[in-house]
Amino acid sequence: MKARDLLQQVTGLNLTEAVVGRAVERRMQAIALADALAYERLLATSAQELSALTELVVVPESWMFRDAEAFVAATAFIVRRLDASAARALRILSVPCAGGEEPYSMAMSLQSAGVASADVAIDAVDLSQVALARARAGRYTRNAFRGRHLDFRDRFFTAVDAEYQICEEIRAQVTFSHANLLDPAFSSRPGYYDVIFCRNLLIYFDDPTVAAAIASLARLLADDGILFAGYAEVPAFCRNGFAALRAPGAFALEKTGAHAAWPARLPARQHVRPARPLVATPAPPAATAPATRGLRVTAPVAAQLVMRTAPADLLARARRQADLGDLQGAAAACRELLAADPDSADAYFILGMVSECEQKMDAAGHYWRRCVYLKPDHYDALCHLALLAEQSGDQAQASAFKQRAARIYQRGNGNGNGDTSDSAPRKALR
Ligand SMILES: C[S@@+](CC[C@H](N)C(=O)[O-])C[C@H]1O[C@@H](n2cnc3c(N)ncnc32)[C@H](O)[C@@H]1O
């Protein structure tokens, strides 16, 4: 089997020949093998070589409190669930966890909210052994801290040379393991997890692989559990048995027809009491608020981050509306934004996404072209345009967009092995 097919079969990643070609070249150099056919044979028989090659095509890019609203919402959910029933520890899964930034962010947020470590178990899984080794070590460069407000770094990390070591208390709270989301054995514990984070992976898969991955996650998630996706991944979940929950900017979903114990449906309680509301849930009238379980009430780190950094602008509103599945609301916010700032490339990008969801592909193409006209290095818009051109059979145009996207990708990533933006590029388009 060709290297590309083998990699796709194993990882699910929708990779281009160019990406695979470069990775194969690097591996052949590393093991001093000049014959391409010999390398193919080696790959077919050596799990170790396949794993080494896989390391070169995955995108283990992440950072602390990436899309922080998700941690705020997850923390609120967990605190409420613990209060409603403390029969067992709640189980959280981060897949893929890359270098541990996501599960550690969750652990820091829960700790800040006063949740006892015995009340939650955090599992974190990734396909990349290199990323997992970094996660277990818990040591990070400045790259893992991208926000402007880094109080949490002072609290939970120690500076060591030019890096930051996570404190033992947080490190010990996460159990890391190596697994493949697409392996049938991965979902062998039905309904096991109360909260699942699966963000910024499905964007690299083709449609059948996305459906298989979501089916696996649905099996693992308890019927009253919630799942957090990347913002570009919400529509795929909605097409595959999930429904978006009302949680601005968190990209939270529940299984369709299930009843996640979401704050809106629970008696409102405010164990986690930041200066302002944690999530967009009305505060309960004081007289009806039940007693707390004695949780240490502090403003969680994530809530602080969100409160300080949430852009109270129209673009944020557009993204939130889209997250809630309110396409018209998202489009209206974009138009409002364009009225004030006609050069907002991101507003055009979102309009394109909205049109795509509405199956209006001509309009989507129009908006994305406008977006790249205003911002020629808008990676995501270029990727979408490439896919659109490919779907309409215009291979030359598709290839031109891909090449532009690839140049941007490489510019943003010295080693060509990382994502360049919040919304994560599709590596397949390189
Ligand atoms: C961009 S990171 C996402 C990390 C984190 N969830 C976030 O949003 O910041 C993508 C990760 O997916 C992992 N990955 C790729 N294919 C996978 C698979 N089939 N099963 C599990 N992890 C996979 C890669 O190793 C990489 O670390």
- State pLDDT tens for residues 77-91: 999 899 887 789 999
* More confident: 143 or 344: 143
Contact 83, 292 (CB under 8 A): yes
pLDDT in tens, 383-423: 999 988 988 888 889 899 988 988 887 776 533 333 434 33
* pLDDT, position 414: 37
For residue 276, the CA-to-ligand 1 centroid distance in Å is: 33
How sure is the predictor about 325, in pLDDT bands with cuts at 50, 70 and 90? confident
What's the CA-to-centroid distance between 202 and ligand 1, angstroms?
Answer: 9
- The response to whether residue 413 sits with its C-beta less than 6 Å from ligand 1 reads no
Residue 210 Cβ inside 6 Å of ligand 1? The answer reads no
> Does residue 138 have a pLDDT over 50?
yes
Whether ligand 1 lies within 6 angstroms of the CB of 109 is answered as: no
Residue 356 corresponds to which tokens in the numbers above? 């795509």
Q: Whose CA is nearest to atom 25 of ligand 1?
A: 128
Residue 348 to residue 367: CA distance in whole angstroms: 5
Residue ID of nearest Cα to ligand 1 atom 2: 60
Q: What pLDDT band is residue 55 in, cutting at 50, 70 and 90?
A: very high
* Predicted local confidence at residue 302, as pLDDT: 60
**Among 127, 130, 214, which residue has the most ligand 1 atoms within 8 Å of its CB, making it the best to mutate?**
127
Query: Does 30 have pLDDT greater than 70?
Result: yes
d(CA 214, CA 255): 10
Q: What is the torsional sign of CA 355, 360, 363, 368?
A: positive
Residue 296 has pLDDT above 70, yes or no: no
Asked if the model's pLDDT at residue 287 lies above 60, the reply is no
- The answer to whether the CB of 381 is under 6 A from ligand 1 is no
Q: Please, which pLDDT band fits residue 281 given cuts at 50, 70 and 90?
A: very low
Atom 19 of ligand 1 has which residue's CA nearest to it?
11
pLDDT at residue 124 is higher than 70: yes
- Is the pLDDT score of 211 beyond 70? yes
Question: Looking at the DSSP assignment, which residues form a beta bridge with residue 226?
Answer: 195
> How many angstroms is it from 59 CA to the middle of ligand 1?
7
Question: pLDDT higher for 328 or 172?
Answer: 172
* Residue 203 CB–ligand 1 contact under 6 Å: no
Q: Which residues of 94-122 are buried (b: 16+ CB within 10 A; e: fewer)?
A: bbbbbbbbbbbbbbbbbbbbbbeeebbbb
Q: Tell how far the Cα of 125 is from the centroid of ligand 1, in angstroms.
A: 9
67 touches ligand 1 (CB under 6 Å): no
Q: Whose CA is nearest to atom 12 of ligand 1?
A: 96
- Overall average pLDDT of the 117-130 stretch: 97
Q: Quickly state the pLDDT bin for 301 (edges 50, 70, 90).
A: low
Mean pLDDT on 59-77: 93
Closest CA to 10 of 55, 74, 41: 55
Domains of the chain listed by start with CATH number: 3-57 (no CATH), 69-255 (3.40.50.150), 311-429 (1.25.40.10)
pLDDT of residue 293: 27
Determine the average pLDDT of the residues in 185-195: 96
* Percentage, residues of the chain above pLDDT 90: 59
DSSP secondary structure, 277-315, as one string: -SSS-PPPPGGGPPPP--------HHHHHHHHH---SHH
Decide: 54 in ligand 1 pocket, CB within 6 A. Answer: no
| Mean pLDDT within 239-253 | 90
**Whole-number pLDDT of residue 344:** 85
273 Cα: distance to centroid of ligand 1 (angstroms): 33
Give the residue with greater pLDDT, 249 vs 234: 234
Confidence of residue 276 (pLDDT cuts 50, 70, 90): very low
Closest to 149 measured CA to CA, from 230, 68, 215, 214 = 68
Q: Where do the H-state alpha helices sit in 312-414? A: 314-323, 327-340, 345-357, 361-374, 379-391, 395-412
Residue 66 pLDDT greater than 90, yes or no: yes
Mean pLDDT over all residues of the chain? 83
Ligand 1 contacts CB of residue 110 (under 6 A)? no
Q: Is residue 420 helix, strand or coil?
A: coil
Ligand 1 center–CA 14 separation, angstroms: 13
Which pLDDT score is estimated for 305? 53
Ligand 1: centre distance to CA 95 (Å): 7
181 ligand 1 Cβ < 6 A: yes
- For residue 28, with 0-12 CB atoms within 10 Å meaning exposed, 13-18 middle and 19 or more buried, which class applies? middle
Q: Look at 293 and 420; give whichever has higher pLDDT.
A: 420
How many angstroms separate the alpha carbon of residue 314 from the centre of ligand 1?
A: 30
pLDDT over 70, % of the chain: 83
Nearest CA residue ID for atom 9, ligand 1: 62
